C-alpha cells in the first residue's frame, strides 16, 4: 500500500485562505458546542447544587475511565429548535469507556429544563439506544429527568419512534443479551420509571433518587393518598421492599462507583475479526484538512487529499484508479483497522456508480468496513445519461449500500445533494455512525437552484395573472426562500435535527472513526445477501 | 476517578490509565506519564515523565510500601466502594481505630449501647501504657470488633458508632 | 580497623578454645544480639545454642544456631526472663556456658547465681558485682568513696536541719527534685544562691501536691548534659583495661538512638581523665568481664565536668562502635574471660583508629512521638560496602510485633574521621530497605544532616530542642507523584482497571470531540 502523494501547495494563497476560513468555522463550532455543553443560567446550576446534585458533565467525569476518550453524539442536537433553549436536547449521549468496556452513555441533563424530554430529546435517546442495539454496546443510563415536556406531548409520545421506542429498544437490548445499568440520580416518573425498570441493574441515590409511575401530587389527586417521595419510590423502599432497584447509594459519587463496579462484571465478548495492523499516524498533518476544504460549497477538491489526512501513514490502495474517476475507491487502515473507502471526486456517472456498487460488494465479500466520504452533487442528469441507464446504475449502488452487511460509516465532508446522498450511505441507509463537518450541506438540490426553481414557479403564476415583477419584487420572493433553504441545508440544521450523530471538527474525524469502528465490531458481520440488481 | 491513597494523614485522589506506552497517572488535575517494572524480588524501576530510577516495592493487602530515593513510605489504598460507603456512614469519627498497636484491657460498651460524646468506649494497652478511647459524638455502638485481651495492630477498626435512631420512628 | 576473626591472633584463640571448660554456649537472648554473639561463638569453633519464643521462630539466630530450644511464657518477654527454664535448656542441650546478651537476664544477679549453681559458666561479671552496680545508691557511694567524680548532691532526709546549707554547698546551677518524684514533675533548676530558699519552698509545695511528700533532694545540674560512657574489660586475674569512650547523647525518651566513638566533646586530656576514672572504678570493684561506666558530661560554665552515672555490667547495645575502632571483638573477650583466660594485653597495647557511629534502627514513627510500629518484614535489603556493618536480627518474612523492644537492627559505620563516617552513614541509611513496618531510617538521615549534629553539638535534650528532626517533612510534589505512581501501579484494582482499557482507547487517551 503506497503513500498518497499530496499535490497540495500549503504555501499557496488558496490554501491559506481555505485554512483561515475553515479554522474560523471550526472555532465557531467549538464555541457553540462549548456553550451547549456548559453554559447554563445560574439559577439552574444553583438549583442543582441546592438539590445536592452534580452537573451532568461532572457525573460523566466520575463515570468514565480516566485518560480514555469519549465520543459524544449530537452535542448540538436541538440547537436550532425550541428557540435554542434546550441545548443538546437536555441530554448527553456518547460512547465512553467504563471499567475498560465500551459503553453507550445516556445521561439526562437536569440543568436544562430539569431534564425534561422534548421531542428531540426522545429522538436522541432512541438514536443512542439504536446505536447500542446495532453495535451491541452495553448502556449506562444516568437518569435525572422531569419527564415528558407536556406542551409538546403529541410530538413525543405515541408514534413509532417516539418515547415508547426507548423502552422497546431497552427490551430488545436485553433480549440480545446486551446489559444495561441505570443510575437513578433524580426522579424517574411515569415513562421514565421504566428506564431503571427495564435495566438489568439499577443503582439509586438515597434522598435524591426516586422511581414511581406517579409522584406524590398525582397520587394525591388520583386516590387521595398522602405519601412522601421516599415512601413512594425512594432508595430504601425500592432496594429493600419492591426490588425495583438493586443497590442503594448514599451519594452520587458512590452510586457511580457502584455502577462502575457493575459494568466491570460485564463479560467482554469477542469482537468481529477484521484485518488489523498496528496503527500509524497519518503522514500528512490532519490540520491541513482546513486548507483542503474549499470556501465555496460548489467548488471541487481532490478527496485523495482528505483521505491522506485521515488514514494510517497516509497509505491508500486505490481500486480502479482509471475507471469511474469521480468516485475514488480503495483500501486503507484507520487506527489499524482495514477499511474500504468510497469518496466523491465529482458527480456520479454510470461508470462511477457501477464501480461503487462493485467495490461495496468487494468489501462485503472480504469483510472490510466501509467509510463513505461525501461531497456529492448527485447522479449525472441528461438525455445521454438516461439513455445509458444512469437511474438503473444508481439503483445498483443504492441496492449495494442498502444491503451491505459490513458496518458503514459516513462523513458529510462538503456537499450532499440529491440521490447522491443515498448512494453514498446517507442517514436513511443505516450507517453505524454518521458525522458532519461544519461547512457541509445537505439538501435535495443546491440552495440557489432550489430557490430559483421555487421563485420561478411563483413568478410564472403571477405572470399568468398579468403581473410583471420588478427585480426588487423578484428578490423579495426569492431571498426568503434562499434563506430558509440555506438554513435547513446547513450542517447545523441537520445536526440539530439529529440527521447525524454529531458535528465534528475535521481534525477530530480520525479519532471519532477509530472509536466508531471499534464499537461497530462488537456486532458479528453477517454473510452478504442482496436484492435484485437491475442489470 | 474515585481511587484514593492515604499517605500519612493525607488522602490523595487519583486515577490511572494506560497509554500507548506505559501508563498515565491522573492526579491534582495533571496527567503524568508513569511506569513501573517490578521484578520478582521486589526491586523495581519507576519512571515518571521519562526519568527512571530504582525503587523497592512491596504490597500487602491494600498497603503499598515503597522505598524510594533513600526513604521508605507506606501508602494505603482505599477502594472507592469502601471509601465512599464509609463516607456515607457518617464521618470517620464513627470508626474508632487503634491509635497504636496494643490490646483491649476493658470494654465499657457493647453493640447497641447508647453513648454520649466523651463517654469511655474502651481502654487499650500499648507498650505498658493504658489509653482510653472515647466517643467523638453521641450515638449508638454499631459493632465492637475486639474482645478483652485480644491484640491488634495500629489503625485496626476497634469499634463503630452510628447515629442514634430518631425519636418517634414507627416500629 | 575492624574486628578480624581471620587473623593469626584469632587462630591462636580458636586453638586454645578447644580446651576451654565449655564447648557449647547457650545464648539467652534474641534479635540482633543473639545473632551477633552466635557469630563469634561459631567463629571460635564452639557450638551455639539459642532459646527462642515461638514469636521468634523465624528469626535468623534460630536458623543459624547449632541448636535452638523453644521456651514458653505467659508473654514472649516472660519466656526470655524465665531463669529456670533457660538454665534447664542449657543443661538439656549440653551447653557449658550461658551468654545473657543485654537486657532480659543480663543484669540479674539471681540468674547469674543460678547459672553458677548449675555448674555452668556465666559470661558476665560475678553476682556481687551485678548487685553492687545494680543498686544505684550503693554504686554511687562506692564510686564516691574511691575518689571518683559523682555529682555533688544533698539529701534532705540525711539531716533536714542542715539541708539548705548543704544545698548551697552543692554549687550552682543545681537541680531540686522531690525525693518521691519522678517524670520531671516538681523539678526546679536554680542558678543563683539568692533564689535557692524561694525555689526550695516552691519545690516542696509542688512535691506535696504531686506526690503527697514534700521531702527534697538537690544535685548539681549539668546544662545540656552529654552522655559519655567508657568501655572497660576485666579478667579473673585482676587485669582491667578501658577501650575508650562512646558518646550516646542523642536520645529520645531516655533511650539511645545514635552512639559514636570517639566523642566529639572530648579533648585528649579529658578523654584520658574520664577513661582512667572508668578503669579505676572497674579495678576497684575487681570487675571481671565487659562493662560500661556511664558518665554525665558537661561544659556548662567552662571547664568540662563529668560525674559518674552508673555502671552497666554487661555487653552494651552500642559495643560495635568500640569494636570498630579498637579491632577488639568484645564478645570474644567476654568468652575468653569467662573461660578463665587472662586479657593478655596491657592498656598501652590498646589503640583506636578512625571514627565509628552506630544508628539504632527502630520500628517506630518519630513523627508520632516515637510510637512503636508493627508489621511484616516484606522486603529487607541491608546496606553493604566498606565501613558499613549491620548487626541485624530480622529477616524477610518475619513479623515485627509489639511484643519486644522495637529495635530491629544496628547500622555501624566507620570512617577515617567523623565527617567521613557521617557521609558513609547517609548513604548506608538510604540503602537500608525495610518495607512493611515503618522504621526511623528517614529520621536518622534528617538527624545526621542537621547542622548541630554535624558540628557535634549534641546533648541528651538535643531532640527535644530540635523537634523539626522528628517531624515528617513535607514531600516535594515530584516525590509525591512518584509514590502515588508506584502505589497505583502496584495496586491491582487500579492497574487492572487501566489494563482493561482496549488498546485503541488507551492509545487515543484523554480525548473528546
The fold adopted by the segment(s) B91-162 is OB fold (Dihydrolipoamide Acetyltransferase, E2P) (2.40.50)
Residues 135-164 of chain C whose Cβ lies under 8 A from any Cβ of chain B:
none
Q: Look up the domain containing A299 and give its range.
A: 286-444+490-520
Q: Do C5 and C34 touch, CB atoms closer than 8 A?
A: no
Q: Outline where C405-440 has alpha helix (H).
A: 418-431
- CB neighbourhood size of B149 (10 A): 8
Q: What is the CATH number of domain C152-220?
A: 3.30.1490.20
Instruction: Give the nearest partner residue to B27 out of C401, C433, C481, using CB atoms.
Output: C481
Pairing mode, strands A441-443 and B63-68: unpaired
With cell 586475674, the residue in question is C237
Give me C435's grid cell.
Answer: 518495607
Helices and strands (H and E) in chain C: how many: 20, 23
CB proximity C78 to B under 8 Å: no
Instruction: Give the nearest partner residue to B32 out of C373, C481, C494, using CB atoms.
Output: C481
The tens-digit pLDDT sequence of chain C (513 residues) is 456 666 788 899 999 999 999 999 999 999 999 999 999 999 999 999 999 999 999 999 999 999 999 999 999 999 999 999 999 999 999 999 999 999 999 999 999 999 999 999 999 999 999 999 988 889 999 999 999 999 888 888 888 888 888 988 888 888 888 877 665 667 788 988 888 988 888 888 888 887 778 888 888 888 889 999 999 999 999 999 999 999 999 998 778 999 999 999 999 999 999 999 999 999 999 999 999 999 999 986 678 899 999 999 999 999 999 999 999 999 999 999 999 999 999 999 999 999 999 999 999 999 989 999 999 999 999 999 999 999 999 999 999 988 888 899 999 999 999 999 999 999 999 999 999 999 999 999 999 999 999 999 999 999 999 999 999 999 999 999 999 999 999 999 999 999 999 999 999 999 999
Residues A196, A132 within the same domain: yes
Say which residue, C45 or B85, is predicted with more confidence: C45
Residues A61, A131 within the same domain: yes
Can you tell me the distance from the alpha carbon of A126 to that of A409, in angstroms, rounded to the nearest whole number?
A: 19
Q: Do A398 and A420 touch, CB atoms closer than 8 A?
A: no
Say which residue, C446 or A471, is predicted with more confidence: C446
pLDDT tens digits, one per residue of B26-74? 999 999 999 999 998 889 999 999 999 999 999 999 999 999 999 999 9
Region of B142 (left: φ > 0; alpha: ψ -120 to 50; beta: rest) is alpha
Give me C358's grid cell.
Answer: 552506630
Would the CA dihedral through A149, A153, A155, A157 be positive or negative?
Answer: positive
Looking at residue C2, its pLDDT comes to: 54
Tell me if A249 and B81 make a contact (CB, 8 A cut-off): no
Q: Which chains touch C (3 or more CB pairs under 8 A)?
A: A, B
Closest-CA residue to A199 (of A250, A267, A247, A268): A247
SS3 sequence, A476-527? HHHHHHHHHHHHHHEHHHHHHCCCCCCECCHHHHHHHHHHHHHHHCCCCCCC
Indicate the residue among A231, A263, A295 that finishes a domain.
Answer: A263
C-alpha R_g of chain A: 25
Give me B144's grid cell.
Answer: 465492637
Residue ranges per structural domain of chain C: 4-123, 152-220, 226-469
Mean pLDDT of chain A: 95
Can you tell me the distance from the alpha carbon of B150 to that of B21, in angstroms, rounded to the nearest whole number?
A: 49
Q: Is residue A220 part of a domain?
A: yes
CB proximity B170 to A under 8 Å: no
Q: Which chains touch B (3 or more CB pairs under 8 A)?
A: A, C
Give me B55's grid cell.
Answer: 525503587
Q: Which chains touch A (3 or more CB pairs under 8 A)?
A: B, C
Residues A254, A293 within the same domain: no
Closest-CA residue to A525 (of A408, A406, A432): A406
Pairing mode, strands C226-234 and C407-415: unpaired
Q: Is residue A279 part of a domain?
A: no
Instruction: Give the nearest partner residue to C485 out of B46, B60, B151, using CB atoms.
Output: B46
Torsion angle of alpha carbons B146, B151, B156, B162, nearest 10°? 20
Taking CA atoms, A106 is separated from A63, A137, A264, C40, C108, in Å, by: 12, 12, 18, 75, 78
Strand partners, A111: none
C-alpha R_g of chain C: 26
Tell me if C472 and B8 make a contact (CB, 8 A cut-off): yes
Tell me if B48 and C478 make a contact (CB, 8 A cut-off): yes
Work out how many CB contacts closer than 8 A connect B with C.
165
Main-chain phi, psi angles of C340, to 5 degrees: 95, 0
Tell me if C505 and A97 make a contact (CB, 8 A cut-off): yes
> Can you give the CATH number for the domain in which A92 is found?
3.90.226.10
Which helix H or strand E contains A401, and what residues bound it? helix A390-403
Looking at residue B165, its pLDDT comes to: 62
Residues A257, A291 within the same domain: no
Domain C226-469: CATH class, spelled out: alpha beta
Instruction: Give the nearest partner residue to C508 out of A100, A505, A514, using CB atoms.
Output: A514
Tell me if B1 and A250 make a contact (CB, 8 A cut-off): no
Burial B121-147 (b: 16+ CB within 10 A, else e): bbebebeeeeeebebbeebbbbebebe
Q: Do A327 and A319 touch, CB atoms closer than 8 A?
A: no
Residues 445-504 of chain C whose Cβ lies under 8 A from any Cβ of chain B:
445, 472, 475, 478-491, 493-495, 497-499, 501
Tell me if A67 and B24 make a contact (CB, 8 A cut-off): yes
Tell me if A100 and C500 make a contact (CB, 8 A cut-off): yes
Would the CA dihedral through A503, A507, A513, A519 be positive or negative?
Answer: negative
Strand partners, A167: none
Strand partners, B67: B56, B72
Residues A257, A290 within the same domain: no
Strand partners, B33: B24
Give the CATH number of domain B2-77; options: 3.40.50.2300, 3.30.700.30, 3.20.20.370, 3.40.50.410.
3.30.700.30
Q: Do A97 and A103 touch, CB atoms closer than 8 A?
A: yes
Which span out of A147-151, A403-407, B94-98 was modeled with the highest average pLDDT? A403-407
Predicted confidence band at A450 (pLDDT cuts at 50, 70, 90)? confident
Give me A222's grid cell.
Answer: 388520583
Residues A82, A129 within the same domain: yes
Give me A475's grid cell.
Answer: 428578490
Q: Mind giving me the DSSP string for A79-93? A: TTSGGGTSGGGGEEE
Which helix H or strand E contains B71, and what residues bound it? strand B71-78
Residue ranges per structural domain of chain B: 2-77, 91-162
Work out how many CB contacts closer than 8 A connect A with C.
66
Looking at residue C300, its pLDDT comes to: 67
Give me A314's grid cell.
Answer: 497516509
Looking at residue B168, its pLDDT comes to: 37
The order of strands in the sheet holding C97-99 is C67-70, C47-52, C24-27, C97-99, C121-122
Predicted confidence band at A146 (pLDDT cuts at 50, 70, 90)? confident
Can you tell me the distance from the alpha carbon of A323 to that of A330, in angstroms, rounded to the nearest whole number?
A: 12
Indicate the residue among A263, A295, A314 that finishes a domain.
Answer: A263
pLDDT tens digits, one per residue of A29-56? 999 999 999 999 999 999 999 999 999 9
Instruction: Looking at the complex, report in whole angstroms how far the Cα of residue B36 sits from the nearest Cα belonging to chain C.
Output: 6
Can you tell me the distance from the alpha carbon of C323 to that of C316, in angstroms, rounded to the nearest whole number?
A: 12
Burial C383-394 (b: 16+ CB within 10 A, else e): beeebbbbbbbb
pLDDT above 50 (res A249): yes
Residues A58, A104 within the same domain: yes
Residues A242, A316 within the same domain: no
Least confident of A7-16, A271-280, A290-299, C186-195: C186-195
Looking at residue A506, its pLDDT comes to: 98
pLDDT above 50 (res B171): no
Give me B47's grid cell.
Answer: 519512571
Instruction: Give the nearest partner residue to B2 out of A68, A250, A257, using CB atoms.
Output: A257
CA angle (A247 as vertex; A241, A248 as ends), nearest 5: 80
CB proximity B116 to A under 8 Å: no
Looking at residue B167, its pLDDT comes to: 41
Can you tell me the distance from the alpha carbon of C302 to that of C299, in angstroms, rounded to the nearest whole number?
A: 5
Residues of C whose CB is below 8 A from B67: 379, 381, 433, 435
- Per the document, the length of chain A is 535
Q: What is the CATH number of domain C4-123?
A: 3.40.50.20
Domain count for chain A = 2
With cell 427585480, the residue in question is A471
pLDDT tens digits, one per residue of C435-478? 999 999 999 999 999 999 999 999 999 999 999 999 999 999 99
pLDDT tens digits, one per residue of A164-214? 999 999 999 999 999 999 999 999 988 889 999 999 999 999 999 999 998
Predicted confidence band at A463 (pLDDT cuts at 50, 70, 90)? confident
Main-chain phi, psi angles of B57, to 5 degrees: -130, 135
With cell 569512650, the residue in question is C245
Looking at residue A468, its pLDDT comes to: 79
Strand partners, A371: A341, A409
Amino acid at each position: 500500500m503506497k503513500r498518497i502523494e499530496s499535490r497540495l501547495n500549503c504555501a499557496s494563497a488558496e490554501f491559506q485562505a481555505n485554512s483561515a476560513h475553515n479554522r474560523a468555522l471550526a472555532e465557531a463550532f467549538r464555541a457553540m458546542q462549548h456553550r451547549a455543553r456548559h453554559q447554563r443560567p445560574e439559577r439552574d446550576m444553583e438549583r442543582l447544587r441546592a438539590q445536592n446534585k452534580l452537573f451532568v458533565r461532572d457525573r460523566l467525569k466520575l463515570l468514565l475511565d480516566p485518560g480514555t476518550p469519549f465520543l459524544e453524539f449530537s452535542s448540538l442536537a436541538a440547537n436550532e429548535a425550541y428557540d435554542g433553549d434546550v441545548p443538546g436536547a437536555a441530554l448527553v449521549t456518547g460512547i465512553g469507556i467504563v471499567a475498560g468496556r465500551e459503553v453507550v452513555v445516556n445521561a439526562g441533563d437536569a440543568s436544562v429544563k430539569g431534564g425534561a424530554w422534548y421531542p428531540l430529546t426522545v429522538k436522541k435517546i432512541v438514536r443512542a439506544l439504536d446505536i447500542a442495539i446495532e453495535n451491541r454496546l452495553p448502556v449506562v443510563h444516568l437518569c435525572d429527568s422531569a419527564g415528558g415536556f407536556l406542551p409538546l406531548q403529541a410530538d413525543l409520545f405515541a408514534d413509532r419512534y417516539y418515547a415508547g421506542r426507548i423502552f422497546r429498544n431497552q427490551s430488545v437490548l436485553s433480549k440480545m443479551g446486551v446489559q444495561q445499568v441505570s443510575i437513578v440520580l433524580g426522579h424517574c416518573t411515569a415513562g421514565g420509571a421504566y428506564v431503571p425498570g427495564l435495566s438489568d441493574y439499577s443503582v439509586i441515590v438515597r434522598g435524591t433518587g426516586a422511581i414511581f409511575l406517579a409522584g406524590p401530587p398525582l397520587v394525591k389527586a388520583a386516590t387521595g393518598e398522602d405519601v412522601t417521595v421516599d415512601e413512594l419510590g425512594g432508595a430504601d423502599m425500592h432496594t429493600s421492599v419492591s426490588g425495583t432497584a438493586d443497590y442503594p447509594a448514599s451519594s452520587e459519587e458512590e452510586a457511580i462507583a457502584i455502577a462502575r463496579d457493575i459494568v466491570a462484571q460485564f463479560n467482554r465478548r469477542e469482537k468481529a475479526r477484521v484485518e488489523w495492523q498496528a496503527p500509524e499516524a497519518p503522514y500528512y498533518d490532519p490540520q491541513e484538512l482546513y486548507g483542503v476544504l474549499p470556501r465555496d460549497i460548489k467548488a471541487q477538491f481532490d478527496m485523495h487529499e482528505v483521505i491522506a489526512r485521515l488514514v494510517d501513514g497516509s497509505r491508500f490502495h486505490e481500486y480502479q484508479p482509471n475507471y469511474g474517476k469521480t468516485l475514488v475507491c480503495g483500501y486503507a487502515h484507520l487506527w489499524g483497522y482495514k477499511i474500504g473507502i468510497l469518496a466523491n471526486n465529482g458527480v456520479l456517472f454510470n461508470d462511477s456508480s457501477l464501480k461503487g456498487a462493485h467495490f461495496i460488494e468487494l468489501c462485503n465479500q472480504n469483510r472490510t468496513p466501509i467509510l463513505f466520504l461525501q461531497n456529492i452533487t448527485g447522479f449525472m442528469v441528461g438525455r445521454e445519461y438516461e439513455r445509458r441507464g444512469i437511474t438503473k446504475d444508481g439503483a445498483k449502488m443504492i441496492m449495494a449500500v442498502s444491503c451491505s452487511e459490513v458496518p458503514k460509516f459516513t462523513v458529510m465532508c462538503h456537499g450532499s445533494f440529491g440521490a447522491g446522498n443515498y448512494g453514498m450511505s446517507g442517514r436513511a441507509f443505516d450507517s453505524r455512525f454518521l458525522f458532519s463537518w461544519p461547512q457541509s450541506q445537505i439538501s435535495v438540490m443546491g440552495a440557489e437552484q432550489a430557490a430559483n426553481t421555487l421563485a420561478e414557479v411563483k413568478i410564472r403564476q403571477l405572470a399568468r395573472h398579468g403581473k410583471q415583477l420588478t427585480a426588487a419584487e423578484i428578490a423579495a420572493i426569492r431571498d426568503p426562500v434562499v434563506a430558509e433553504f440555506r438554513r435547513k441545508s446547513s450542517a447545523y440544521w441537520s445536526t440539530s435535527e439529529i440527521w447525524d450523530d454529531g458535528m465534528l471538527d475535521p481534525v477530530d474525524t480520525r479519532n471519532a472513526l477509530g472509536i466508531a469502528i471499534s464499537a461497530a465490531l462488537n456486532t458479528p458481520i453477517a454473510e452478504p445477501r442482496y436484492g435484485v440488481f437491475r442489470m | 476517578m474515585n481511587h484514593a491513597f492515604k499517605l500519612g494523614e493525607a488522602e490523595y485522589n487519583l486515577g490511572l490509565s494506560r497509554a500507548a506506552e506505559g501508563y498515565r497517572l491522573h492526579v491534582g488535575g495533571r496527567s503524568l506519564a508513569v511506569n513501573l517494572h517490578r521484578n520478582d524480588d521486589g526491586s523495581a524501576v519507576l519512571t515518571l515523565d521519562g526519568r527512571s530510577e530504582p525503587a523497592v516495592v512491596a504490597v500487602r493487602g491494600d498497603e503499598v510500601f515503597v522505598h524510594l530515593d533513600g526513604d521508605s513510605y507506606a501508602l494505603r489504598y482505599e477502594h472507592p466502594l469502601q471509601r465512599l460507603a464509609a463516607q456515607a456512614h457518617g464521618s470517620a469519627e464513627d470508626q474508632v481505630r487503634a491509635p497504636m498497636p496494643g490490646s483491649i484491657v476493658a470494654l465499657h460498651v457493647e453493640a447497641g449501647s447508647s453513648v454520649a460524646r466523651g463517654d469511655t468506649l474502651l481502654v487499650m494497652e500499648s507498650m505498658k501504657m493504658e489509653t482510653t478511647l472515647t466517643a467523638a459524638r453521641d450515638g449508638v455502638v454499631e459493632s465492637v470488633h475486639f474482645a478483652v485481651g485480644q491484640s491488634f495492630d495500629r489503625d485496626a477498626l476497634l469499634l463503630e458508632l452510628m447515629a442514634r435512631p430518631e425519636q418517634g420512628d414507627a416500629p | 580497623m575492624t574486628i578480624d576473626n581471620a587473623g593469626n591472633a584469632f587462630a591462636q584463640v580458636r586453638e586454645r578454645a578447644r580446651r576451654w571448660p565449655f564447648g557449647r554456649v547457650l545464648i539467652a537472648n534474641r534479635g540482633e544480639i543473639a545473632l551477633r554473639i552466635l557469630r563469634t561463638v561459631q567463629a571460635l569453633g564452639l557450638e551455639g545454642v539459642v532459646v527462642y519464643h515461638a514469636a521468634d521462630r523465624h528469626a535468623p539466630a534460630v536458623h543459624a544456631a547449632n541448636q535452638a530450644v523453644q521456651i514458653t511464657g505467659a508473654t514472649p518477654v516472660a519466656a526470655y526472663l524465665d531463669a529456670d527454664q533457660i538454665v534447664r535448656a542449657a543443661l538439656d542441650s549440653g551447653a557449658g556456658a550461658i551468654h545473657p546478651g543485654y537486657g532480659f537476664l543480663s543484669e540479674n544477679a539471681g540468674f547469674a547465681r543460678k547459672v553458677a549453681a548449675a555448674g555452668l559458666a556465666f559470661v558476665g561479671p560475678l553476682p556481687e558485682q551485678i548487685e553492687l552496680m545494680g543498686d544505684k545508691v550503693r554504686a554511687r557511694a562506692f564510686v564516691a568513696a574511691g575518689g571518683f567524680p559523682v555529682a555533688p548532691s544533698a539529701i534532705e532526709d540525711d539531716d533536714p536541719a542542715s539541708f539548705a546549707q548543704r544545698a548551697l554547698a552543692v554549687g550552682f546551677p543545681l537541680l531540686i527534685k522531690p525525693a518521691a518524684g519522678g517524670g520531671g514533675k516538681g523539678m526546679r533548676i536554680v542558678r543563683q544562691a539568692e533564689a535557692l530558699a524561694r525555689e526550695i519552698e516552691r519545690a516542696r509545695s509542688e512535691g506535696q501536691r504531686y506526690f503527697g511528700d514534700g521531702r527534697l533532694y538537690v544535685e548539681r545540674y549539668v546544662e545540656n548534659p552529654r552522655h559519655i560512657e567508657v568501655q572497660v574489660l576485666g579478667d579473673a586475674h585482676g587485669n582491667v583495661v578501658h577501650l575508650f569512650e562512646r558518646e550516646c547523647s542523642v536520645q529520645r525518651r531516655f533511650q539511645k538512638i545514635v552512639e559514636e566513638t570517639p566523642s566529639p566533646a572530648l579533648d585528649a586530656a579529658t578523654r584520658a581523665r574520664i577513661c582512667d576514672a572508668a578503669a579505676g572504678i572497674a579495678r576497684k570493684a575487681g570487675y571481671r568481664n565487659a562493662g560500661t561506666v556511664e558518665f554525665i558530661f558537661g561544659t556548662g560554665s567552662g571547664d568540662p565536668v563529668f560525674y559518674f552515672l552508673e555502671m552497666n555490667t554487661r555487653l552494651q547495645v552500642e559495643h560495635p562502635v568500640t569494636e570498630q575502632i579498637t579491632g577488639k571483638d568484645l564478645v570474644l573477650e567476654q568468652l575468653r574471660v569467662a573461660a578463665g583466660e587472662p586479657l593478655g594485653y596491657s592498656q598501652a597495647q590498646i589503640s583506636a583508629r578512625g571514627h565509628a557511629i552506630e544508628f539504632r534502627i527502630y520500628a517506630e514513627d518519630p513523627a508520632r512521638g516515637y510510637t512503636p510500629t508493627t508489621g511484616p518484614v516484606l522486603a529487607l535489603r541491608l546496606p553493604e560496602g566498606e565501613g558499613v556493618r549491620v548487626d541485624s536480627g530480622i529477616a524477610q518474612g518475619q513479623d515485627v510485633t509489639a511484643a519486644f523492644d522495637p529495635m530491629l537492627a544496628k547500622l555501624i559505620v566507620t570512617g577515617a574521621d567523623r565527617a567521613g563516617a557521617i557521609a558513609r552513614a547517609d548513604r548506608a541509611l538510604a540503602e537500608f530497605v525495610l518495607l512493611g513496618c515503618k522504621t526511623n531510617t528517614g529520621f536518622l538521615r534528617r538527624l545526621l544532616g542537621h547542622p548541630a549534629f554535624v558540628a557535634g553539638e549534641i546533648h541528651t535534650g538535643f531532640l527535644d530542642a530540635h523537634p523539626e528532626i522528628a517531624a515528617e517533612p513535607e514531600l516535594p510534589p515530584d516525590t509525591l507523584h512518584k509514590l502515588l505512581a508506584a502505589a497505583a501501579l502496584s495496586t491491582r484494582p487500579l492497574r487492572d482497571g487501566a489494563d482493561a482499557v482496549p488498546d485503541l482507547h488507551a492509545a487515543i487517551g484523554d480525548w473528546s470531540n
